[in-house]
Structure 1
Amino acid sequence: MRFKKGMDYVHISKYCYTISIILTIVGVISLAIFGLNYSVDFRAGSSVDITLTQDLTEDQIHPILEGISADQGTAINPGDNRMTLRFEKVLDENQEMQLKEEITKLDAGASFEVNTVDPEMAKELARNAIYSVLISCIGIIIYVSIRFEWRFAVAAIVALLHDAFLVVAVFSIFRFEVDLTFIIAVLTIIGYSINDTIVIFDRIRENLRFAKLKTRQDLIDLVNKSVAQTIMRSIYTAVTVFIAALFLFLLGGESIRMFSLAMVIGLIFGAYSTIFIASPIWFLLKSRQKNKPAHAAS
């Protein structure tokens, strides 16, 4: 008996593919031209986090920075009772002491935390970040291939790479700062997205066991039915986590702001890809299975 109720997710996915391809192309162009706005975590330099006891303005800080090192590309990120100074070059001991002395004159209760990354360490952190994402994807491919079948694994990885890349693209386009917490957010998004995708894949596999698939339309109905049976669970989960991430972004400290922002963006793309990318890709692979009738996955 064909499933006739609800939305035709397989048909809608054709338009979603177009949207995703356009966003991907824009992201590739942005990355090629502008790259990412790396924080001091991924490039050599110093980061000075200052906890203040009174409000200081950028106009008060700029003369101090110019007196210390006007050519090092300093940046000021003010927050509530906090200020973060970024230097593209590593501050030497004298510059660091001078900076502390000058700011202490303005706020005697100020406290400082200086983080320094040398060029080799910055390269190693960037390299390890890429490795961590790749290893995660390889592990997911192996798990899904064993647990389900290779078509599910391919669909899951395409959806995951789609989510991760679009988050990176958004950060490139809007020049948001990429730090270590951003990498943690991407890995968290991958974990969340695969969990949501596996729920739908498991439902597809269960429905395959009892389905009699004779035509392409039967397979379309099966995918639509499986998505419809799990979509509310996916939406409720996504909305719940999204609200938490959004309030972390709005009310959280400066140190987790980029993590929270990446989570908010990634959750949107993750919910979208789980429904309109992963399952339809599996359908395309299954429907093109040559010389074999569609049957339950082993």
Structure 2
Amino acid sequence: MSKLGQLGAKLHRGDVSYDFIGHRKLWFSVSAILVIVSLAGLFARGLALGIEFKGGVEYQAKVKVTGDTVQNFTDAVKATNAKDLGDPVVTTIGDGAVRVQTKPLGQDDIAKVRAAVAKEAGVPIDQVTSQQIGASWGKQIANKAILALIVFLVLVFAVIWLYFREPKASMAAIIALIHDVTITVGIYAIIGFDVTPATVIGVLTILGYSLYDTVVVFDKVRENTRGITGSNRYTYSDATNLAVNQTVVRSINTTITALLPVGAILVVGTVVLGTGPLKDLSLALFVGIAVGAYSSIFIAPALLAVFKEREPGMQALHRRVMAKRAQTAAAGTPAPAVATAGAGPGAGAVAARSAVQDAPRKQDRPAGTAPTPAPRPMKATAAGRPQPSRKPRSKRGK
């Protein structure tokens, strides 16, 4: 078994643990800084909306694609000096066509750019197609994306509420999702990548991925906290921390497995192709998966613990647990391990310790009192009921 697998087994059994919930103020502080930086970048720089959202002109022409195709067409379009041209977006379509996108232009400038594209492609001008994309279409796409996001969040809240029978779990999951989306969009604004329909698809995809990891952790929390108020061995935060420790290696494995191919697509889309849907989609996926894994481990469970610890029943449980631990510490007996809050090997140690504590001690007997005699040995009959080993009176002396 690998070292990571051995660590995962120890974490699941409770042999070792890390206090994720106890350090929640640190995680909340890190998330607050990331969210503030993301919002600052979003409001200061804004999103670089693609042609699908802000409108523009798109040209397509057939050409033999080479390694210099993108740069050559970019230079050719810029050489036209069209008014309000900006930086054209040049992408290749397979290995036999090129697409050029510009900001909205006047009719004369559209003709100039079309002629430049035809000249660079080495084809007649009538073989270069051009179409204007209005901003109203992009506005419709943006409105539908926002509507889809709202519907998604409402459905997520309802499904988690019904599954866990706990509205606080829904609140923690939704806050974690908003945290993921805010940081992802903020990074988009800071880096300056174009926001296209592919970006919207990526953002909606990462919401599902982040939610999947969160539900796995919450399901383990529910398992560890079932009937917790009937005991005074551990608090809700202790049980939640155990759940995170039991699932953290799994979350790390799935995250790394997902990030490797997405990272490869991001490198290809950015370095090799230069621009296009692959770059827009892969960046949203890469950032969202990483942030989603972070929130599923450090943010969502900690929020759930904070919400639940405010309940009167959980506060009473916390007081009982703290009182018992103080009494145990005063008696000099080792306190029960927090990591073994659920059923597992630690339960045997707790039971053994309880047996030692419950055994009669010499100093507890009154002076001059004889010790309690040990019970007579018993033997089991065929029916399985223990019987005294002494012979019946009728058979004595025979």
Report the TM-score, using the length of structure 1 for normalisation. Answer: 0.86
Q: 2:158 aligns with which of 124, 135, 142?
A: 142
| 1:109-134 superposed Cα distances (whole Å, 9 cap, x missing partner) | 69867564212112111111111111
Unaligned runs of at least 5 residues, structure 2: 1-13, 319-398
CA distance in 2, matches of 1:25, 1:107: 46
1:155 alignment partner AA: A
CA distance in 1, matches of 2:183, 2:121: 42
Question: Is 2:119 the partner of 1:105?
Answer: yes
| 1:89-141 superposed Cα distances (whole Å, 9 cap, x missing partner) | 1565x765654443333333698675642121121111111111111111100
Q: How do 1:175-190 residues align onto structure 2 when only pairs under 5 Å count?
A: 175-190=192-207
Shift in Å, 1:194: 0.6
Q: 2:222 aligns with which of 184, 199, 205?
A: 205
- 1:75 matched to which residue of 2? 88
Q: How do 1:212-251 residues align onto structure 2 when only pairs under 5 Å count?
A: 212=229, 218-251=235-268
Shift in Å, 1:216: 10
- 2:287 matched to which residue of 1? 265
- 2:300 matched to which residue of 1? 278
- Structure 1 window deviating more from structure 2 (27-36 vs 216-225): it is 216-225
**Preserved CA contact (<8 Å) 1:37 1:175:** yes
Relative to structure 1, the CA distance from residue 62 to residue 16 in structure 2 (aligned partners, 3 Å threshold; closer, same or farther) is: same
2:31 alignment partner AA: S
Relative to structure 1, the CA distance from residue 58 to residue 247 in structure 2 (aligned partners, 3 Å threshold; closer, same or farther) is: closer
Relative to structure 1, the CA distance from residue 60 to residue 41 in structure 2 (aligned partners, 3 Å threshold; closer, same or farther) is: closer
1:266 alignment partner AA: G
Shift in Å, 1:86: 2.9
Shift in Å, 1:70: 2.8
Partner-residue secondary structure (3-state), 1:131: helix
Relative to structure 1, the CA distance from residue 114 to residue 274 in structure 2 (aligned partners, 3 Å threshold; closer, same or farther) is: farther
CA distance in 2, matches of 1:206, 1:246: 35
- 1:38 matched to which residue of 2? 49
Higher alpha-carbon Rg: 2
Relative to structure 1, the CA distance from residue 255 to residue 91 in structure 2 (aligned partners, 3 Å threshold; closer, same or farther) is: farther
CA distance in 2, matches of 1:22, 1:215: 37
Question: Is 2:96 the partner of 1:85?
Answer: no
Report the TM-score, using the length of structure 2 for normalisation. Answer: 0.66
Partner-residue secondary structure (3-state), 2:225: helix
**Aligned-pair Cα RMSD in Å:** 3.0
- Structure 1 window deviating more from structure 2 (189-198 vs 117-126): it is 117-126
Partner-residue secondary structure (3-state), 1:46: strand
| 1:4-52 superposed Cα distances (whole Å, 9 cap, x missing partner) | 7310010232211101111111222222222111111111212335564
Relative to structure 1, the CA distance from residue 195 to residue 52 in structure 2 (aligned partners, 3 Å threshold; closer, same or farther) is: same
CA distance in 1, matches of 2:70, 2:215: 50
1:146 alignment partner AA: L
| 1:218-275 superposed Cα distances (whole Å, 9 cap, x missing partner) | 2221011111111121111111111111111123553211100111111110110000
Shift in Å, 1:61: 4.7
Residue correspondences, number? 293
1:139 alignment partner AA: L
Unaligned runs of at least 5 residues, structure 1: none
Q: 1:122 aligns with which of 124, 138, 153?
A: 138
CA distance in 2, matches of 1:167, 1:128: 19
